[in-house]
Structure 1
Amino acid sequence: MKKFISIGLLAFLICHSLVAQERRYLVFEFIRVDAGKTVDYLEYKDFLAKVYGQAVKKGDIQGWDLWSMKTGSDPDAYQFATITYYSDPVKMMDGTEPEILIKYAQQAFPQMQESQLLQRLKAAADDRDLAIRSYMVEIARTNDQYHFKPGTLASFDLMKAVEGNFEEYEMAEREVFLPIHQRKISANLMEHWCLLRTALPTGSQANSTHMTMNVYKDYLQFFNSMEYEDIEMSDRIRQKVEKGLKSRDQKWVYLATLETMVR
């Protein structure tokens, strides 16, 4: 009984903590780069970092990341992902407009003419395929003090909640899975976890409705985490885990390494 009480109390405190924290909005862009253009795109990331640095200075965004993806043998896999962090959903929707990027670019590179900046952005766009752009809102996260830095490892798990079962799925993540991740963090087997929901309306044909980010400081911590067995999990909680897993379809999982970040 004490275990049930402690698990329920932990879930309540974590959810209450998120209410007190500032809500975040994230734009994910999953990118494929043309064969032979990877070096060009990696050079472009330095240009983008300076551009988004201006957006951070103005307070329009909270930060920007570039992640390299572990693609395996899939030729259609994504090689990179970017994440732009916002505290304002309106700024999130406006922030991807080309004219907004040009404004930041002019501030970052005042010595360059607008035509040169436009050409630089166009050349980079020609080298890549922006396969997916997802507008997400964070609805739950662990209580931790981890600060992202280059080399941070994460898995992006895209989920599709069963239609009509959004509440059941999100409740399972908050009440069952979040406390498990919080215990992993306490055991130094994880650094951060968050649950994201799409911020735009979706229909039944949507590829995904939710995403979780599981964050680790390195591969050693990641593999140790995979072997973790939650000794506090009772049979009742295991049943809840199984029920929660049935409330969503895990579409795909990508491992990614943080290459560049702006804060």
Structure 2
Amino acid sequence: MKKLLFFLICGMLWVSSLKAQQTQYMVFEFIKVENDQLFDYIEFKDLMEKVYRQALNDKQITGWDFWSLQSGADHSDFQYIMVTHYNDPVKMMNGLDEPTMMEYTKIAYPHLNSAQVSKIFQESLSIRDTRMRLYMREVAETKDNFQMKPGVLASFDLMKANEGQFEKYETAESEVFKPIHQKYIDQGLMGHWSFLRTALPLGSEANSTHLTMNMYKDYMQFFNAQAYEDMNQTASQREAVNEGLNSRDQKWVYLATLENIVR
């Protein structure tokens, strides 16, 4: 009996640990580049893909995405969204400091000396401006086998839960909107959906509290999803949807195309 109880407890701890390991953490960086420096920055982000691949090989990150903004904000604000993926909140908060990035650059580009690596980073810092940085934890996602590759589309929907309705809004996303997006995916109208909670910045003055990511394989799938209307939705389902919508303020919707990816 004691052995059975021991194995039961160990199994529960293992499952709990496995779930914790599967939790995804992401840093979103919204980047502004001056028009006369766009070509230089495009070269730089291609270089960064190889650097972040070294970070992935070293198990410091679980992925890296570079998105080009299509719509949702004035290009005077920013033109790119860079997302770095982690499986640990401490690694997310610590990030990859400049000395570490320079070491990975030396590995990725062994023909460059220390002075050349330092020059690359100083030039990159001078041409990019991170207008906003969000630290986020994934709360829910759909079941799918969506293949992330350059050219796929995503809408990044920044939300702010209404005052006093934080839990109500999260429940609505997980229990009302997630099944709707899963149905879209099952019908071939979407590739992937995930719901994230902001870890930082916090407080009533923060611009957003949550973010949803809606992934599409191409523009055809995206526009088909926009045109689709579920005629079989019941009155109670519509009421639940409206209550969920009323529990948050949709701040911005950014449509972007994936240009570089590391997995």
TM-score normalised by length of structure 2: 0.89
Indicate the structure (1 or 2) with the bigger Cα radius of gyration: 2
Q: Give the CA deviation at 1:257.
A: 0.3
Map Cα deviations across residues 138-193 of structure 1 (whole Å, 9 max, x no partner): 00000101120110000000011112221100000011100000000011000000
Give the distance between the partners of 1:155 and 1:73, measured in 2 at CA. 12
The answer (yes or no) to whether the contact 1:106–1:114 under 8 Å persists in 2 is yes
In structure 1, distance between residues paired with 2:122 and 2:232: 54
2:128 corresponds in structure 1 to 128
C-alpha displacement of 1:126 = 1.1
Q: Report the equivalent of 1:179.
A: 179
- The more displaced of 161-170 and 47-56 is 161-170
User: 1:171 corresponds to which letter in structure 2?
Assistant: T
> 1:72 offset after TM fit, Å?
7.0
Distance 1:188 1:41 in 2: 35
Between the aligned residues of both structures, percent identity stands at 52
Question: What is aligned with 1:168?
Answer: 168
Alignment partners' CA distance in 2, 1:114 and 1:197: 39
The alignment covers a number of residue pairs equal to: 246
Supply the distance in 1 between the matched residues of 2:55 and 2:174 (Cα, whole angstroms): 32
Alignment of 1:146-165 (within 5 A): 146-165=146-165
How high is the TM-score relative to the length of structure 1? 0.89
Residue aligned with 1:177, SS: helix
Paired amino acid for 1:79: Q
Partner AA of 1:55 in structure 2 = A
Q: What do residues 30-87 of structure 1 show as CA deviations (whole Å, max 9, x unaligned)?
A: 1111021111111111110111010111111111111100147824232111111111
List alignment gaps of at least 5 residues for structure 2: 1-17
- Tell me the equivalent position of 1:38: 38
Aligned-partner Cα distance in 1 for 2:167–2:258: 32
Residues 134 and 111 of structure 1: is their aligned pair in 2 closer, same or farther, counting only changes over 3 Å? same
**Cα offsets for 1:99-130 (capped at 9, x unmatched):** 22122212212332223212101211211211
CA-based RMSD: 1.7
Amino acid across the alignment from 2:193: W
**Counterpart AA for 1:139:** V
Asked if 1:119 is matched to 2:119, the reply is: yes
> Residue 134 of structure 2 contacts residue 201 of structure 2 at CA under 8 Å; is this kept in 1?
no
Q: Which moved more, 1:74-83 or 1:86-95?
A: 74-83
- The 3-state SS of whatever aligns with 1:70 is strand
SS in 2 for 1:45: helix
Partner of residue 55, structure 1: 55
Change (3 A) 1:186 1:249: same
Greater Cα offset, 93-102 or 201-210 = 93-102
Query: For the Cα contact (< 8 Å) 1:67–1:258, is it kept in 2?
Result: yes
**In structure 1, how many angstroms separate the alpha carbons of the residues matched to 2:261 and 2:47?**
12
